[in-house]
């Protein structure tokens, strides 16, 4: 019987199905960070339980850590408490822990793929919505709540309702200056923030097949922003070449055995999806958001939609969103002055993102009006930046490279955008206050961020390439 990629992996991990249809699913890997794990560990202690398969659990702090002076104690008492608690819990239960300054520390959704902890065919969970990132390697990966973190620790299983399946195809070839982030923001702008609710999405089509592994990680990272349970891309030679030789990837005969299985992980030609959507790559240009959710996006040369184009039920929230951002329906955002630029996060904190940023700022100078935060997604990325000499490019252009962490993606650490200020951000969410109380966030890819950083205003990067 023909199956989708999702169905092949899901069925292989079904432990039991209850009379009401709820599925008990085996989980191959649990990632734990400091924000959503304390209550889960406390629940284990209270019940006198041990993690069922501790070798399947990896812990590291990322949300609360500073991106400067990580060798010093964390100043914020709440952040320090959360980071310290994760370390204590990992030691107490004998779990793998990569703490501050560990060469394997970083954003958990960056470290997983780059170390080979993430592999095709796996089921992967974390108490973080952007766990969907790992699906780029042909895995079923999704975010869970704290009580589910506890359940996974105790049993290595989860109770889940099987989601519906959706395939989103992007056919054709991308135009110059268009990045994977633009693909994702374009899809979300068309699907809306609820358009994939209840579905697990598989991305396919020529434009997707032609992406690099890191670009795929960016696309799958943003799946949750259109309501999807997760996103995935069938593993292929791009995936296998990326994985080979990484620390936790299989070696020798085990590699060949794994590779034979991974090559079976694709949707059968006549597999039936619950929903299919097709987009044209040629229709995508560099994207920016203008509102307060990731679905409020447009091509950088387009104008903010007029109020009458918004359905009546959404007009009140639309007005509120534009008021918060200080924008007006029908206007262009090109030339709008900006105050901050942030490149990093689990969306765009990988080496290819910094290469793209460097390609545009090289030979130019940072605008004196802009404060820029360049934050690698991991110490491995930081090492690559220095080995490739990108840090010198940044320094000559007036930028400072910071230390790894979630940084300005969310206001849980020192990197907060002040109220009323505009930030062009390569992160994943532009909700009110997401980057700091009153902060105004414009989501974009690394090229748009670089163009804004050197001009001080929102600029089409294709003018500078």
* Residues 98 and 214 occupy one common structural domain: no
* Residues 305 and 443 occupy one common structural domain: yes
- pLDDT, position 374: 98
Q: What is the mean pLDDT of the chain?
A: 98
- pLDDT, position 1: 87
End-to-end CA distance of the chain: 49
Q: Read off the pLDDT of residues 390-415 as tens digits, 9 standing for 90 and up.
A: 999 999 999 999 999 999 999 999 99
- pLDDT, position 207: 98
* Residues 202 and 152 occupy one common structural domain: no
Instruction: Residue 176: give its domain's CATH number.
Output: 3.40.1060.10
pLDDT value at 316 more than 90:
yes
**Nearest of 26, 273, 229 to residue 132 by alpha carbon:** 229
Q: How confident is the model at residue 297 (pLDDT cuts 50, 70, 90)?
A: very high
Of 160, 177, 211, the position where a domain reaches its end is 160
Evaluate whether residue 245 is within a structural domain: no
Calpha distance 183→207 (Å, rounded): 9
Number of domains into which the chain is organized? 3
* Residues 328 and 451 occupy one common structural domain: yes
> Any idea how long the chain is?
465
Our CA angle for 129, 345, 439, nearest 5°, is: 90
* Residues 133 and 273 occupy one common structural domain: no
Evaluate whether residue 223 is within a structural domain: yes
Calpha distance 21→81 (Å, rounded): 40
Residue with tokens 């690099």: 212
Of 125, 160, 195, the position where a domain reaches its end is 160
Of 140, 160, 180, the position where a domain reaches its end is 160
Evaluate whether residue 442 is within a structural domain: yes
Q: What is the mean pLDDT of residues 99-106?
A: 97
Evaluate whether residue 408 is within a structural domain: yes
Calpha distance 426→408 (Å, rounded): 10
SS3 346: helix
Evaluate whether residue 205 is within a structural domain: yes
Our CA angle for 29, 35, 36, nearest 5°, is: 50
Cα radius of gyration rounded to whole Å, the chain? 21
What are the tokens at 28? Answer: 């191959």
* Residues 201 and 118 occupy one common structural domain: no
Evaluate whether residue 243 is within a structural domain: no
401 forms bridges with which residues in the sheet? 374
Q: What is the mean pLDDT of residues 99-105?
A: 97
Q: What is the mean pLDDT of residues 323-346?
A: 98
* Residues 430 and 298 occupy one common structural domain: yes
Contact 367, 451 (CB under 8 A): no
Evaluate whether residue 247 is within a structural domain: no
* Residues 69 and 131 occupy one common structural domain: yes
What are the tokens at 450? Answer: 């670089």
Instruction: Residue 139: give its domain's CATH number.
Output: 3.30.499.10
Q: Read off the pLDDT of residues 139-182 as tens digits, 9 standing for 90 and up.
A: 999 999 999 999 999 999 999 999 999 999 999 999 999 999 99
* Residues 318 and 231 occupy one common structural domain: no
Evaluate whether residue 190 is within a structural domain: yes
Q: Read off the pLDDT of residues 47-86 as tens digits, 9 standing for 90 and up.
A: 999 999 999 999 999 999 999 999 999 999 999 999 999 9
Q: How confident is the model at residue 26 (pLDDT cuts 50, 70, 90)?
A: very high
* Residues 54 and 190 occupy one common structural domain: no
Which range marks the domain in which residue 440 is found? 287-463
- pLDDT, position 401: 98
* Residues 434 and 321 occupy one common structural domain: yes
* Residues 326 and 445 occupy one common structural domain: yes
Pairing of strands 287-289, 275-280: unpaired
Calpha distance 223→172 (Å, rounded): 21
């Amino acid at each position: 019987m023909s199956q989708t990629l999702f169905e092949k992996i899901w069925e292989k991990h079904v432990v039991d199905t209850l009379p009401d249809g709820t599925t008990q699913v085996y989980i191959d890997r649990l990632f734990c960070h400091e924000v959503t794990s304390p209550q889960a560990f406390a629940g284990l202690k209270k019940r006198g339980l041990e993690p069922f398969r501790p070798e399947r659990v990896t812990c590291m702090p990322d949300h609360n850590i500073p991106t400067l002076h990580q060798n010093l104690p964390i100043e914020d008492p709440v952040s320090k408490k959360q980071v310290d608690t994760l370390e204590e819990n990992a030691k107490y239960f004998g779990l793998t822990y990569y703490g501050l300054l560990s060469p394997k520390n970083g954003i958990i959704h960056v470290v997983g793929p780059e170390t080979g902890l993430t592999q095709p065919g796996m089921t992967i969970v974390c108490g973080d919505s952007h766990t969907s990132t790992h699906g780029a390697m042909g895995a079923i990966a999704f975010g869970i709540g704290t009580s589910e973190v506890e359940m996974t620790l105790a049993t290595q299983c989860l109770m889940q309702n099987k989601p519906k399946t959706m395939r989103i195809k992007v056919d054709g070839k991308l135009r110059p200056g268009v990045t994977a982030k633009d693909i994702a923001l374009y899809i979300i702008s068309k699907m809306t923030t609820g358009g994939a609710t209840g579905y697990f999405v598989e991305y396919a089509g020529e434009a997707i097949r032609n992406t690099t592994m890191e670009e795929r990680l960016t696309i799958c990272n943003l799946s949750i922003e259109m309501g999807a349970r997760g996103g995935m891309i069938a593993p292929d030679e791009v995936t296998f070449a990326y994985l080979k030789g990484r620390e936790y990837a299989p070696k020798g005969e085990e590699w060949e055995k794994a590779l034979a299985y991974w090559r079976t992980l694709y949707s059968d030609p006549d597999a039936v999806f619950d929903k299919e959507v097709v987009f044209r790559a040629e229709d995508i240009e560099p994207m920016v958001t203008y509102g307060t959710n990731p679905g409020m996006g447009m091509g950088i040369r387009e104008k903010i939609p007029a109020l009458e184009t918004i359905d009546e039920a959404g007009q009140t929230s639309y007005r509120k969103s534009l008021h918060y951002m200080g924008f007006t329906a029908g206007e262009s955002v090109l030339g709008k002055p900006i105050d901050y630029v942030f490149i990093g996060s689990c969306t765009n904190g990988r080496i290819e993102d910094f290469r793209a940023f460097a390609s545009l700022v090289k030979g130019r100078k940072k605008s004196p009006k802009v404060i820029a935060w360049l934050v690698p997604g991991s110490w491995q990325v930081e090492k690559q930046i220095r080995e490739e000499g990108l840090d010198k490019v940044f320094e000559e252009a007036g930028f400072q490279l910071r230390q790894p962490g979630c940084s300005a993606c969310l206001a849980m650490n020192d990197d907060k955008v002040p109220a009323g200020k505009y930030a062009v951000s390569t992160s994943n969410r532009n909700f009110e206050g997401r980057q700091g109380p009153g902060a105004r966030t414009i989501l974009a890819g690394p090229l748009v961020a670089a163009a804004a950083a050197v001009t001080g205003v929102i600029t089409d990067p294709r003018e500078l390439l």
